[in-house]
């Protein structure tokens, strides 16, 4: 029943269970008139609009024989057919293109959609899906989200394991801000394991080696610029440290790991006193 269409309009998939379409001839016009009156009466007195329309439409050759689908990647064909309201006995008469489009764009992955009917028995659907931008962990759940924070798949999908991971309540609402921030520092972006939204105000960035970078609520870009510049000179990210705090404008506070403190017999006075060093 579904036929996929490529960008150039060529058929890409097989036609399944397609019914034979019938073309109305001049001799059918009288029957069509009678059916129109019958449909109107049935709808008026019985109230079963779709059922009556499908029966009438199928009787005159307007059964839905094909659904041409273009642009679908993540949304299942069954979900699309359900949104279209098309079943085994549907006719074009009962397919409301406007309502079908509204139901399609309500599906998680679909951003835009158009629905067009061509008689005697085809429905053409063109959709544009959203792109996965990140994973969002909220509590014990992990969802796939787009760049606007919309949930595309409410569950972990291994295909998207390489996407950035955001953690915390409402972190999805600020995904664009964080992704834009990290993209400005490629050397840091490539080493980032996760970004944690803290207290609904600011971010902590966790590196793949376990280092935690504490960013300020305001001026995060400037703080990261200072930190990345220091790393270029001193390879700070490669040191045996637990966290780097850049929330203060006039200093960077580095806290060594517990292992570093235990093995450094000569640790600096500040480390012995506070377990941290200010740079």
Same domain membership, residue 243 and residue 161:
yes
**Do 13 and 26 form a contact (C-beta atoms < 8 A)?**
no
Q: Which of 129, 148, 166 is the last residue of a domain?
A: 129
Sheet with 122-129, side-by-side order of all strands:
2-4, 66-70, 122-129, 110-118
Top-confidence residue, 113 or 8: 113
Q: What is the pLDDT of residues 34-86, one digit of tens each?
A: 344 444 434 444 444 667 776 766 677 788 889 999 999 999 999 999 999 88
Residue 140's CATH number: 3.40.50.11690
- 118 and 143 in a single domain? The answer is no
Return the higher-pLDDT residue of 219 and 95.
219
Q: Residue with structure tokens 């899906």?
A: 129
Q: Which residues contact 15 (CB under 8 A, 6 or more apart)?
A: 1, 2, 3, 66
Domain that holds residue 222: 134-278
The single residue listed with the structure tokens 């273009």 is 70
Specify whether 168 is located in the same domain as 230. yes
Tokens of 36: 């129109």
Is 147 in contact with 179 (CB distance < 8 Å)? Answer: yes
Contact (CB, 8 A) for 57 and 114:
no
Asked if 157 and 56 sit in the same domain, the reply is: no
Same domain, 100 and 8: yes
Q: Which of 15-29, 88-102, 236-250 has the lowest mean pLDDT?
A: 15-29
The domain boundary residue, chosen from 94, 113, 129: 129
Residues 9 and 111 occupy one common structural domain: yes
Q: Which helix (H) or strand (E) segment is 125 a member of?
A: strand 122-129
**Do 85 and 159 reside in the same domain of the chain?**
no
- CA 40, CA 22: separation in Å to the nearest integer? 23
Please report, for the domain that includes residue 31, its CATH number: 3.10.20.310
Cα 127–Cα 133–Cα 136 angle in degrees, nearest 5: 120
DSSP string, 199-239: TTTEEEEEETTS-EEE--SS-HHHHHHHHHHHHHHH-GGGS
Instruction: Name every residue whose Cβ is closer than 8 Å to that of residue 182 and which is 6 or more positions away in sequence.
Output: 164, 188, 189, 192, 195, 205
Give the C-alpha separation, 40 to 49, whole Å: 9
- Say if residue 231 is in the same domain as residue 270: yes
Whether 59 and 154 map to the same domain: the answer is: no
Whether residue 275 has pLDDT greater than 70? no
Tell me what pLDDT residue 118 has: 92
Q: Give the three-class secondary structure for 276.
A: coil
Report how far residue 22's alpha carbon sits from residue 234's, in angstroms, rounded to the nearest whole number: 77
Q: What is the mean pLDDT of the chain?
A: 81
* DSSP type of residue 63: B
User: Cis omega before residue 12 (within 30°)?
Assistant: no
pTM above 0.85, yes or no: no
**Mean pLDDT lowest among 79-83, 198-202, 268-272, 274-278:** 268-272
């Amino acid at each position: 029943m579904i036929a996929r269409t490529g960008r150039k309009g060529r058929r890409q998939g097989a036609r399944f269970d397609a019914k034979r379409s019938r073309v109305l001839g001049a001799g059918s016009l009288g029957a069509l008139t009678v059916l129109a009156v019958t449909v109107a009466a049935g709808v008026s007195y019985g109230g079963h609009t779709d059922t009556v329309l499908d029966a009438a439409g199928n009787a005159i050759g307007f059964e839905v024989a094909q659904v041409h689908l273009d642009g679908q990647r993540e949304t299942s064909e069954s979900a699309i057919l359900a949104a279209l309201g098309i079943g085994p006995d549907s006719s074009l008469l009962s397919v409301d293109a406007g309502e079908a489009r509204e139901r399609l764009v309500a599906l998680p992955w679909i951003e835009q959609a158009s629905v067009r009917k061509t008689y005697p028995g085809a429905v053409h659907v063109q959709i544009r899906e959203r792109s996965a931008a990140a994973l969002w962990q909220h509590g014990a759940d992990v969802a796939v989200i787009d760049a606007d924070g919309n949930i595309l798949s409410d569950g972990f999908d291994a295909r998207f394991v390489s996407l950035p991971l955001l953690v915390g309540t409402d972190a999805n609402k600020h995904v664009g801000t964080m992704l834009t921030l990290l993209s400005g520092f490629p050397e840091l972006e490539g080493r980032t394991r996760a970004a944690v939204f803290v207290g609904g105000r600011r971010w902590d960035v966790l590196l793949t080696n376990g280092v935690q970078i504490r960013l300020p609520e305001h001026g995060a870009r400037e703080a990261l610029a200072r930190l990345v510049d220091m790393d270029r000179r001193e390879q700070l990210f490669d040191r045996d440290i637990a966290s780097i705090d850049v929330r203060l404008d006039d200093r960077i506070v580095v806290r060594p790991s517990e292992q570093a403190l235990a093995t450094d017999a000569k640790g600096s006075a500040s480390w012995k006193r506070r377990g941290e060093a200010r740079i």
